[in-house]
Structure 1
């Protein structure tokens, strides 16, 4: 077994994350005053100046995701990109729109049918796929690894905000699209423009919950300890949430057995 190469690669990955955290702009925690109702939709400028990147990398990502995920998750992922990019622009954050778009496209990829036998967390499956995609397109190892962390952590509240901008924005965009978190931080014109271009279908909540359940019902253990456990309990009356307090009280250390 080649211990040294494995150890070296692990250290390199950790170094990437540490470097990214250290380099977060000083103005991260500051939220500039929101511009009220400035024009949001323009044929040349996209939505408030935010456009989907027009590059081979972005086009390849969009094609792969649309062909694999279907319309529901593809449209959701597109809205997530817009919410994330709009938030980044509002906060004055420095981020690569192309990499943010790939992160948004792949963030739910682990819920697709190709992972029907996986017992990893779906976030990790999607992160692995995004990293492989980026590597195959010649993106640097550092950037590929950053997108891995952004996707892997996007459902873990309270972590992404303290990492690099794309990680924070991806989580923020996903929460906005699913539960309306930060709804009032966007202007009505911005919300209406995104919704006009990529509308939530009438049954979006039920359809999305079903998609999550379908992606996790063969690996319910991966939902434990996360908000996804709520989805499992909602869809499956036999699902039981893990109780960490009981685990501690019934452990070998507590019972002496």
Structure 2
């Protein structure tokens, strides 16, 4: 499948990209599939804007798999959902004879996509996965995309009328069974939003309650 061009960006026309799209469409909700597709375009366009050279097929893999760990079929009971998604991508890509180093770029891009302040300094596949997420979910770089480009991406892969609340709910549904995995990352905010009596882990408390003396 190939989408209409946006700033010259298209979904890679390859057997791997088609397999990724089929897998993710069969695995995720329509909400998450469309979100992930928008993340690819927004991430790739950010790469153009930043003058970065990247393999679009690897970026497509990372962006499309980045929320797979929210789905029950790929959710563990003890790992961060980001790691679950990264592991699912790694397992999928290993059957396509890719360079292991490239698979690790995809893995890292997914694993770090909710860890702000770090991915932007890493390999473009990693940096642009987070850039796409930050645009589509948080709107951090909203004004850096022309209206026509934003409108075209959303027309191809629609946002629901209540996307902001829908995506928060999707995050919660995917992680509510393992709240401890949100310690130290932004998804703790999701649990706290949905569960007012949720007590977050506290970094200072961990230090003070350790078995070390002094």
1:68 aligns with 2:27: yes
SS of the equivalent of 1:49 reads: coil
1:148 equivalenced with 2:117 (yes/no): no
Match of 2:47 in 1: 88
What residue is the counterpart of 1:166 in the other structure? Answer: 125
**8 Å Cα contact 1:116-1:218 kept in structure 2:** no
Query: What is the alpha-carbon root mean square deviation over aligned residues?
Result: 1.7
Q: Distance in 1 between matches of 2:75 and 2:125?
A: 28
Task: Kindly indicate whether the alpha-carbon contact (under 8 Å) linking 2:65 and 2:110 is maintained by their aligned counterparts in 1.
Answer: yes
Give TM-score scaled by structure 2 length. Answer: 0.94
Measure, in 1, the Cα distance between the counterparts of 2:67 and 2:6. 23
TM-score by length of 1: 0.79
* Alpha-carbon distance between aligned partners in 1 of 2:3 and 2:210, rounded to the nearest angstrom: 61
2:17·2:57 contact (CA, 8 Å) conserved in 1? yes
2-structure distance, mates of 1:242, 1:70: 30
Structure-to-structure mapping, 1:47-58, within 5 angstroms: 47-58=6-17
Query: Bigger CA drift: 199-208 or 61-70?
Result: 199-208
| 1:249 and 2:212 are equivalent in the alignment | no
Work out which of the residue numbers 67, 77, 81 in structure 2 matches 1:118: 77
Runs of 4+ that moved beyond 6 A = none
Gaps of 5+ in 2: none
Change (3 A) 1:239 1:115: farther
Post-superposition CA distance 1:71-130 (Å, at most 9, x none): 010000000000000111122110011110111110001000113543111111111111
Whether 1:192 and 2:151 are equivalent positions in the alignment is yes
After superposition, the Cα gap between the structure-2 partners of 1:76 and 1:129, relative to the gap in structure 1 and judged at 3 Å, is same
Alpha-carbon distance between aligned partners in 2 of 1:57 and 1:194, rounded to the nearest angstrom: 22
1:227 aligns with 2:179: no
Distance in 2 separating the partners of 1:73 and 1:170 = 15
Which string of whole-angstrom CA distances, capped at 9 and with x for unpartnered residues, describes residues 133-164 of structure 1?
A: 11111111110111111111111111101110
In structure 2, the CA distance between the partners of 1:117 and 1:87, relative to structure 1 (3 Å rule), is closer
Which residue matches 1:25? none
Structure 1 residue 210, shift from structure 2 partner: 1.3
Contact map agreement 2:62 2:89 (CA 8 A) in 1: yes
Q: 1:236 aligns to what?
A: 195
Q: Quick check: 1:117–1:218 contact (8 Å CA) kept in 2?
A: no
Q: CA deviation at 1:196?
A: 1.8
Can you list the C-alpha shifts for 1:37-75, whole angstroms capped at 9, x where unaligned?
Answer: xxxxxx996111011111110000000001110201000
C-alpha spacing 1:183/1:44, structure 2 compared with 1 (3 Å): closer
